[in-house]
A and B are shown apart, each in its own frame.
Chain A
Amino acid sequence: MNINTTKIISLLFFIFSAFYLYTAYQIQVFAFDENAPFNARTFPIYLGYAGLFFSGLKLILPDPNTIKVDHKNLEYKNTGILILIAIIYGATILKVGYFLTTSLFLFASYYFLGERRWILMFLLSFPFVAAFMYLLHGILDIYLRDPFLQSIGVMG
Chain B
Amino acid sequence: MIEGILIGLTTALTFQNILMVMVGCFFGTIIGMLPGLGPMTAIALMIPITYGFDPATGLILMAGVYYGAVFGGSTSSILLNAPGVPGTVATSFDGYPMAQQGKAGKALAIAAWSSFAGGTLSAIYLLFMAPSLSKVSLSFRSPDYFALMILGLTAIAAFSSKGQFLKAMMMVVLGLMLASVGQDSLSDITRFTFNNMNLTDGISFVLVVMATFAMSEALTIILKRNDPTSAAKQVSLTELGSIKINKEERTKMYKTIPRSSVIGFLIGVLPGAGATIASFLAYGMERNVVSDEEKEKFGKGSVNGLSAPETANNAACSGSFVPMLTLGIPGSGTTAVMLGALLGFGVQPGPRLYMTNPEIFWSIIMSMYIGMVILLILNLPLIPYIARILAVPKNYLIPLILFFSVTGIYVMSFNNFDIYLMIGIAVVATFLRLYDFPMPPLILAFVLGGLMEENLRRSLLLSNGSWEFLWDRTLTACILATTILIVIWHIYKTFKKKN
Contacts and interface: CB of A to CB of B under 8 A. Distances in A.
Contacts of A142: 48, 51-52, 411
Given A38-B460, A93-B419, A136 B180 contact: no
B411 A109 contact: no
B224 A74 contact: yes
A141 B50 CA distance: 11
Contacts of A127: none
A28 B189 contact: yes
A102 B51 contact: no
Nearest to A27: B191
Interface string A1-21: 000011001100100010010
A48 B452 CA distance: 15
A5 B435 contact: yes
B223 A76 contact: yes
Interface string B435-457: 11100000000000000110011
B402 interface: yes
B219 interface: yes
Nearest to A135: B49
Nearest to B453: A43
Given A47-B180, A102-B403, A106-B399, A38 B461 contact: yes
Contacts of B434: 67, 69
A11 to B, nearest CB: 12
A142 B497 CA distance: 53
Contacts of A61: 166
Contacts of A79: 219, 222-223, 430
A140 B177 contact: no
Contacts of B395: 110, 113-115
Interface string A134-145: 011001111111
B396 A69 contact: no
Contact of B406 (A6, A28, A43, A93): A93
Interface string B139-169: 0000000000000000000000001101101
A110 B402 CA distance: 12
Interface string B165-182: 011011001101100100
A55 B222 contact: no
Nearest to B404: A132
Query: For B163, B189, B498, which residue has the most chain A Cβ atoms within 10 angstroms?
Result: B189
B464 interface: yes
A78 interface: yes
B202 to A, nearest CB: 13
Nearest to B466: A37
A93 B410 contact: yes
Nearest to A109: B399
B52 A82 contact: no
B62 to A, nearest CB: 15
Interface size class of B (residues with CB under 8 A): 35 or more
Given A30-B187, A73-B225, A38 B456 contact: yes
A141 to B, nearest CB: 6
A42 B169 contact: no
A75 B419 contact: no
B3 to A, nearest CB: 31
- Helix, strand, loop or mixed for chain B's interface? helix
Contact of A17 (B173, B180, B420): B173
Contacts of B186: 40
Interface residues of A, number: 71
Given A51-B177, A90-B420, A102-B407, A38 B465 contact: yes
Given A87-B420, A91-B416, A140-B53, A37 B461 contact: yes
Given A78-B222, A140-B51, A67 B411 contact: no
Nearest to A86: B423
A153 interface: no
Contacts of A36: 461
Interface in A112-141: 113-115, 120, 124, 132, 135-136, 139-141
Contacts of A37: 460-461, 463-465
Contacts of B414: 94, 145
B416 to A, nearest CB: 6
Given A28-B189, A47-B177, A54-B173, A65 B164 contact: yes
A87 B453 contact: no
A73 B364 CA distance: 45
Contacts of B241: none
Interface in B359-405: 393-396, 398-400, 402-403
A144 B169 CA distance: 39
23 contacts: A9-B432, A38-B456, A42-B456, A42-B457, A43-B456, A50-B173, A50-B176, A51-B177, A74-B223, A78-B222, A79-B223, A82-B219, A86-B423, A91-B416, A93-B406, A94-B414, A94-B415, A98-B410, A109-B398, A110-B396, A124-B400, A135-B49, A136-B407
Interface of A: 5-6, 9-10, 13, 17, 20, 23-24, 27-30, 33, 36-44, 47, 50-51, 54-55, 57-58, 61, 64-65, 67, 69, 73-76, 78-79, 82-83, 86-87, 89-91, 93-94, 98, 102, 105-106, 109-110, 113-115, 120, 124, 132, 135-136, 139-145
Complex A-B, nearest 9 residue pairs according to Cβ-Cβ distance, in ascending order: A140-B52, A37-B465, A90-B419, A109-B399, A40-B184, A113-B395, A40-B189, A115-B395, A43-B453
Given A54-B166, A82-B219, A86-B419, 20 more contacts: A6-B167, A28-B189, A29-B187, A37-B464, A42-B456, A43-B453, A51-B177, A65-B163, A67-B434, A69-B435, A74-B223, A74-B225, A82-B398, A89-B419, A102-B406, A109-B399, A109-B402, A113-B395, A114-B395, A144-B410
Interface of B: 48-49, 51-53, 163-164, 166-167, 169-170, 173-174, 176-177, 180, 184, 186-187, 189, 191-192, 219, 222-225, 393-396, 398-400, 402-403, 406-407, 410-411, 414-416, 419-420, 423, 427, 430, 432, 434-437, 452-453, 456-457, 460-461, 463-465, 497-498
